[in-house]
Amino acid sequence: MTATPPESPGLPSHFVPADVEGPLYERWVERGYFTADPDSGKPPFSLVIPPPNVTGNLHIGHALEQSMMDAITRRARMRGFDTLWLPGMDHASLAVNNLVERYLGETEGKGRADYTRDEFMAKAWEWKNRFGGQILGQMRRLGDGVDWSRERFTMDEGLNRAVNTIFKRLYDDDLIYRAERIINWCPLDMTALSDAEVEHADEPGELVSIRYGDGADAIVVATTRAETMLGDTAVAVHPDDERYRHLVGTTVALPLTNRRIPIVADEHVDPSFGTGAVKVTPAHDPNDFEIGRRHDLPMPTIMDERGAITVPGPFQGLDRLEARYAIVAALREDGRIVAEKRPYVHAVGHCSRCDTVIEPRLSLQWWVRVEPLAKAAGDAVREGRVTVEPESMRGRYFQWVDNLRDWCISRQVRWGHQIPVWYSPDGDDMCFGPDETPPSGWTQDTDVLDTWFSSALWPFSTLGWPDATTDLERYYPTTVLVTGYDILFFWVVRMMLFGLYAMDGAVPFETVVLHGLVRDASGKKMSKSRGNVVDPLLWIDEYGADAVRLSLLQGANPGADQAINEEWVVGTRNFGTKLWNATRFALMSGATVDGPLPAVVEGPDAWILSRLNAVIAEVDALYERYEFAKIVDVLYHFAWDEVCDWYIELAKLSLSGPTADSTRRVLGEVLDALLRLLHPMVPFVTEVLWTALTGGESLVIADWPLADPSRADAAATADVRAIQAVVTEVRRFRSDQGVKPSQRVPATLTGVTPTTEPAIRALLRLDDAGDGFAETASLTTASGVRVAFDLSGTIDVAAERTRLTKDRAAAEKELATNSAKLGNEAFTGKAPEAVVAKVRDRVTAAEAEIARIDAALAALPSA
């Protein structure tokens, strides 16, 4: 590669992200850098994106998740893997269905019932094509290096086929069945929901105690949902409960109706709660349903799909909440209310989508029998075939997977995958696969599948399953899955269930990396209702994608929630500027990447190469554990503190000395490697800088640096540490003395070496002592270097005395602590020799330090 010498300095004085990011990204895509190539001969590395909702916009959580995935894939690509990051979107069945219905209501003034299924689906596709998919453009803004040629959608043709194929297979294996059970019903969305789609919240309600029957056979029950009494078909008591034993087997009159219901004995009842008697409404409560099954009770449904009472009489047509008040009022009038507790705080289930109170309801739905699948999913992690990072999240995975209940997969909406079961005119049902044609006259089930059913297939359906494609063969199992711990159950567990099942026991991914939630600056969860949502796109506009990405990764500790605010984005933007300026300096200084790195280098050059290779090794190790926050920390400090603050300052000297050529090469090497190391996290600014510095084609396809342990150089490191120690201490002295940074001061140095003295003098702006040098102040550093100054102005003796006194106190403390340890036989006897030796050294050092300070104090003119 030939380095094209940069035109003038080669870089504009400022970096304007908005000007370069878009064109740069499109160039990467056009050149096919992100397109996986099964024929490349490289080992594969693959991951699938957690498909965002087709209706979604890029929010800060996506930005974090995708920044992590982009860093992982870009690094893998640089390390020589055939890398696939597969993008796509989820059809978001219920969410889109609702949006389309609302849209049609607004634009056409019609409701759900006014469209046939086909008409509705046509409208929905139209809507999706028009309003959906915004997030794809926003992912480009972030810089996501995804393989757009393999983009998928959970309702595209191939994925439909995958869905139908696995449904048929599960159905034939008796792992999908249809049954009438109590399900979570949302009366607003008018569909069933899975357990996972219900959120429980404690709310104040009422606990009403009602007397059923009269006189000797009266029995009091308590309820928070009085309206369900219309559906009661029994009262249950515990079999051992003496109070009610005589009533078991008799019947009692159900108030407000002319029905009599039996009193049954059931183990489920807790005799110590309330009166020990429970009203049983089998069609509207899961526990009551079980009691009803055990005692063969009738199970009348008393509400319609909207939650309105259907029982003929005065309450018919009332909404369930209105009915509750009306029924309590009527019972009160009847003198049947014996106690009312209000407010009574208890957990109430809500629809996770629209927040409507869920109605448990007896309903005929489709289910996945999960038990055999869940066993395999749990074992795969237990056996280490799938690693969950961070390890602390493993428990949560098992909590889910080992306690799974059958999954209700049918939904009463239209947008989604229609259940591939057909019914004959006689009522027989049969499942047909994608290539099978049902007999004419049969009609298809009108329900669609839970959105998560198709996303559970994502790691293999997107690669071509059920066909044995090259991609499937090559990229499954995927290497790593990155997602939030909040969808561990919704998605990760279900991918495990279906992946292991469909792929004959092959896991869907080898490692799961769970990240936390992004919160606002005060640690609160972001939500529209709180009004604390931040839009990453606004920050990208303002500070560039690199700054947004890096500020998110900077806070990304595995599995932990993190906060973000604009100031931190500003901070990382400043880091980009720092890199920019450092590279400008390098270019102006003739830094080069041409030719081999000198085998032997000296001084600061040797030191920075030593550090660079240690940093590479450290970063590699941290990537293995997905410790993004630490990777950022390491690179940030290496770049800013070591490269910019020390190495470049030291290099300014050697660039005018005999080793200038060597330094130019090392400076080029260090920046080259640094930009490579940072590229996966901040792809744009590093690309601009690196191409300017090296003349290379693109960092995207450049090689990841290899750590070279042979560059470790303890001697050079010690030299630089010595320079740093003296410089830092004298700077402090100067600052305390009020000597301006720019003021040059004549001084003599003793105890320095010819290799360190020029650097120390230059960094401290100390001139040689010429004629007429008069020492007016001096300083002996901890490392034994004596610096004598000729300060023209007055020395601030008091300030210096304060400083030294403070240092002396610290040294005294150090001496006392360590001497005490040495005087403690328990310590010297039991602690390892290495630790004791260390303490002994510290005592010696502290004593020397005190002596040095005392001498310095004595040398100060008296005030």
Partner RNA sequence: GUCCCGGUAGCUCAGCUGGUUAGAGCGCCGCUCUUACACAGCGGAUGUCGGCGGUUCGAAUCCGUCCCGGGGCACCA
Site for RNA in 436-455 (CB under 7 A): none
Query: Per 3-state DSSP, what percentage of the chain is helix, strand, and coil (rounded to 5)?
Result: 45, 15, 35
- Selected from 10, 555, 668, 746, the binder of RNA by CB under 7 A is 555
Q: How far is the CB of 413 from RNA (least distance, A)?
A: 23
Site string for RNA, 651-680 (x = CB under 7 A): -x----------------------------
Mapped onto helix, strand or coil, the DSSP state of residue 187 is: coil
Give the residue from 513, 609, 617 showing the smallest Cα distance to 560: 513
CA 179 to mean position of chain CA atoms: 37
Site string for RNA, 281-300 (x = CB under 7 A): -----xx-------------
Stretch that binds RNA, among 268-276, 313-321, 424-432, 688-696 (CB under 7 A): 268-276
Residue 223 makes contact with RNA by CB under 7 A = yes
- Selected from 341, 530, 721, 838, the binder of RNA by CB under 7 A is 838
Taking the C-alpha atoms of residue 654 and residue 665, their distance in angstroms, rounded to an integer, is 12
Residue 317 makes contact with RNA by CB under 7 A = no
Stretch that binds RNA, among 73-81, 108-116, 262-270, 659-667 (CB under 7 A): 262-270
**Contacts to RNA from residues 50-109, by CB under 7 A:** none
- Selected from 505, 813, 837, 848, the binder of RNA by CB under 7 A is 813
- Selected from 122, 521, 538, 855, the binder of RNA by CB under 7 A is 521
Mapped onto helix, strand or coil, the DSSP state of residue 719 is: helix
Residue 394 makes contact with RNA by CB under 7 A = no
Lookup: tokens for 70 = 């982009």
Positive/negative CA dihedral, 793, 798, 799, 804: positive
Q: How far is the CB of 563 from RNA (least distance, A)?
A: 4
Q: Exposed/middle/buried for 148, CB within 10 Å: 0-12, 13-18, 19+? A: middle
- Selected from 59, 318, 818, 853, the binder of RNA by CB under 7 A is 818
CB-based burial, 318-346: b 16+ in 10 Å, e otherwise? bebeebbebbbebbeeeebbeeeeeeeee
Lookup: tokens for 345 = 């705080």
**Contacts to RNA from residues 579-598, by CB under 7 A:** 581-582, 584-585, 588
Stretch that binds RNA, among 42-50, 155-163, 519-527, 680-688 (CB under 7 A): 519-527
Residue 330 makes contact with RNA by CB under 7 A = no
Stretch that binds RNA, among 79-87, 273-281, 448-456, 695-703 (CB under 7 A): 273-281
**Contacts to RNA from residues 352-391, by CB under 7 A:** none
Residue 819 makes contact with RNA by CB under 7 A = no
Lookup: tokens for 474 = 């090559």
- Selected from 59, 77, 821, 852, the binder of RNA by CB under 7 A is 821
- Selected from 375, 396, 625, 801, the binder of RNA by CB under 7 A is 396
Listing DSSP states for 471-513 in one string gives HHHHH-SEEEEEEEGGGIIIIIIHHHHHHHHHTTT--SEEEEE
Taking the C-alpha atoms of residue 312 and residue 242, their distance in angstroms, rounded to an integer, is 37
Question: To which residue do tokens 């590093």 refer?
Answer: 686
Stretch that binds RNA, among 94-102, 141-149, 175-183, 825-833 (CB under 7 A): 825-833
Residue 279 makes contact with RNA by CB under 7 A = yes
Taking the C-alpha atoms of residue 501 and residue 835, their distance in angstroms, rounded to an integer, is 55
Taking the C-alpha atoms of residue 686 and residue 678, their distance in angstroms, rounded to an integer, is 7
Residue 835 makes contact with RNA by CB under 7 A = yes
Q: How far is the CB of 585 from RNA (least distance, A)?
A: 3
Q: What angle do CA 140, 143, 147 make, to 5 degrees?
A: 70
Answer whether 11's CB lies under 8 Å from 583's CB: yes
- Selected from 507, 534, 622, 648, the binder of RNA by CB under 7 A is 648
Amino acid making up residue 493: V
Residue 811 makes contact with RNA by CB under 7 A = yes
Amino acid making up residue 149: S
Residue 684 makes contact with RNA by CB under 7 A = no
Q: How far is the CB of 462 from RNA (least distance, A)?
A: 27
Torsion-angle region of 313 (φ positive above 0: left; ψ -120 to 50: alpha; else: beta): left
Residue 408 makes contact with RNA by CB under 7 A = no
In this structure, the number of other CB atoms found within 10 A of the CB of residue 536 comes to 27
**Binding residues for RNA, total number by CB under 7 A:** 93
Site string for RNA, 159-198 (x = CB under 7 A): ------------------------------------xx--
Which C-beta is closer to RNA: that of 110 or that of 268? 268
Lookup: tokens for 734 = 């100067």
Residue 222 makes contact with RNA by CB under 7 A = yes
Give the residue from 312, 230, 314, 329 showing the smallest Cα distance to 279: 230
Stretch that binds RNA, among 104-112, 269-277, 418-426, 850-858 (CB under 7 A): 269-277
Taking the C-alpha atoms of residue 147 and residue 49, their distance in angstroms, rounded to an integer, is 11
Lookup: tokens for 763 = 């960094």
Residue 731 makes contact with RNA by CB under 7 A = yes
The CA–CA distances, whole Å, from 145 to 113, 558, 700 equal 44, 22, 9
Which C-beta is closer to RNA: that of 2 or that of 13? 13
